[in-house]
Amino acid sequence: MDWKKESKPLLIILAVFLGLFFLPVGIPRFDNALFEALQLVKWYAREHVILCLIPAFFIAGAIGVFVSQASVMKYLGAKANKILAYGVASVSGTVLAVCSCTVLPLFAGIYKMGAGIGPASAFLYSGPAINVLAIVLTARILGIEMGIARGVGAVFFSIIIGITMHLIFRKEEAAKAATQMAMPEPEATRPLWQTAAYFFVMVTILVFANWGKPVQEAGVWHAIYAQKWIITSIFSIIFGVILIGWFKMAWWKVVFAAIPPAAIALIGPQFISHEYLPLSAFAAGSIGLSIITSTDKGETGDWFSSSWTFAKQILPLLLLGVLIAGFLLGRVGHEGIIPSEWVSAAVGGNSLRANVFASIAGAFMYFATLTEVPILQGLIGSGMGKGPALALLLAGPALSLPSMLVLNGIFGLKKTVTFVVLVVIMATISGMLYGNFF
């Protein structure tokens, strides 16, 4: 037997065996961490996959099919007007109320279509970081200064991170720009305004389906929340009309896809609890859309194929990342394998160590949209300094362990590590400055 050749499999087998042999099953903290991991991934599957990721996959697939590569390169490519490119990318979060995971399919769509690494990175950061509702919630609960600092810091940091990524990888970007020779704009199958309206409707469905419940049960935000599913239904009907009128899809196919969610909305209350009724209707509509597009041999069939490619690439890594994050840190108000006291003790005051720790912890934790504010409220009550609080706010929503795993598959290890380090550094600097002034 060739032991040099067989030594690697042997070591792997031994490592797995010893890991299983000494598995700390029965120790309360380990058992609880496993429970929290499963609870978090269960919650994620219920709350985010259907309402967030499925629409995001369809939007990303649409970018790959209905938006020409020449158009992406014109506005976001390596040779694009920098002011326009970074300006659009840095404020994208004001429209997309998404978390660090939901933005990934959208980022993958524009990056693979030829967007420059600078604007793409700015979009990647700003998408979840500049959430208007989250910034308003931050100002109301944590103070107006914190809300303003979060909003202004997120916009500037997205631009700075994007420009820095461009400068670090400028040789690669120069080669990319050189290969992107002047591409003639392909003949459009429909006017630009129709394509823009199509994307607007899909993004609107994504935003309102995930509209979070505000703290105060009054005002404009709560009024929108109270009518979120009616608004989502209206735009879903508009979306169906667009498929028939502009994409030439057979009307009976669209009706076929619309009947199940409509039936669930009308008859469902007799059989389905109120909590799961909208989710069930949305899931039925998503399944119907998948069926009618996947069986089409035209451009809508290509749209589904592109969306499915993103789903296969991203979803398994996201679920694995959420499982690991739940094991390590638990859910909101619950502990994982790492005691919460360690986190609270490490972020007190405004020292460099506290800000660095807050930035790194925020980068690896998973925050669903708007959940970072109550978490911070509890940490501040436990003695967390204002500087580390801002650092966590700027690093947390933009990154997470699940998103890092996916980014590695899209960006590559070198670019992913660089992006994560830049976010941590910028968040740390902002925390230090804010803590010294406030």
* DSSP-derived secondary structure for 149-205: HHHHHHHHHHHHHHHHHHHHTHHHHHHHHHHS--PPPPPPSS-HHHHHHHHHHHHHH
Q: How confident is the model at residue 242 (pLDDT cuts 50, 70, 90)?
A: very high
Beta carbons within 10 angstroms of residue 131's beta carbon:
27
Give 249's contacts (C-beta < 8 A, 6+ positions apart).
Answer: 243, 292, 296, 300
pLDDT at 140: 72
| pLDDT reading at 410 higher than 70 | yes
- Please name the amino acid found at residue 177: A
pLDDT of the residue at 78: 67
> What's the CA gap between 226 and 213, in Å, rounded?
9
In this structure, the chain runs to a length of 438
Q: What is the pLDDT of residue 138?
A: 78
Question: Cα separation of 301 and 293, whole Å?
Answer: 5
Q: Is the pLDDT of residue 97 over 60?
A: no
pLDDT, mean of residues 222-239: 90
> How do residues 43-68 score in pLDDT, each as one tens digit?
888 877 888 888 888 988 888 788 77
Q: What percent of the chain has pLDDT over 70?
A: 87
Residues 45/340, Cβ–Cβ less than 8 Å = no
pLDDT tens column, 290-334: 999 998 888 899 999 989 988 888 888 888 888 888 888 777 677
Count of H helices and E strands in the chain? 22, 0
C-alpha 180: how far from chain center: 28
Predicted pLDDT at 176 = 67
Contact 281, 261 (CB under 8 A): yes
Distance CA 126, CA 74 (A): 21
At residue 287, the pLDDT reads 93
pLDDT tens, position by position, 5-24:
777 888 888 988 888 888 88
Tokens of 203: 């993004």
Mean pLDDT score of the chain: 82
- The pLDDT, as a whole number, for residue 282 is 92
Contact 312, 23 (CB under 8 A): no
What does the pLDDT look like over 125-141, one tens digit per residue? 887 777 666 777 777 77
> 109: helix, coil or strand?
helix
pLDDT at 428: 92
Distances (CA, A) of 143 to 15, 136, 183, 388, 396: 50, 10, 50, 15, 18
- How does DSSP classify residue 48? I
Please give the Cα distance from 396 to 392 (Å, whole number). 5
Contact 242, 197 (CB under 8 A): yes
Joined tokens for residue 264 = 């669930």
Please, which residues bridge with residue 348 across strands? 384
Q: Which of 15-19, 117-121, 349-353 has the lowest mean pLDDT?
A: 349-353
Cα dihedral 403→408→410→415 (10° resolution): 110
Which region among 91-95, 165-169, 319-323 has the lowest average model confidence (pLDDT)? 91-95
Residue with tokens 């309360």: 28
361: its two tokens: 């912890």
Contact 263, 301 (CB under 8 A): no
Least confident of 117-121, 175-179, 188-192, 377-381: 175-179
Judged against a pLDDT cut of 60, whether residue 185 lies above it is answered with no
Predicted local confidence at residue 178, as pLDDT: 62
Q: What's the predicted TM-score (pTM) here? A: 0.77
pLDDT of 1 over the 60 cut? no
Closest to 416 (Cα-Cα) out of 165, 72, 174, 176: 165
- What b-and-e string marks burial along 383-417, b requiring 16 or more CB atoms within 10 Å of the CB? ebbbbbbbbbbbbbbbbbbbbbbbbeebbeeebbe
* Residue 268 banded pLDDT, cuts 50, 70, 90: confident
Phi/psi at 387 (5° precision): -65, -55
pLDDT at 291: 93
Does residue 236 sit in helix, strand or coil? helix
Q: How confident is the model at residue 96 (pLDDT cuts 50, 70, 90)?
A: low
**Torsion angles phi and psi, residue 302, rounded to 5:** -65, -35
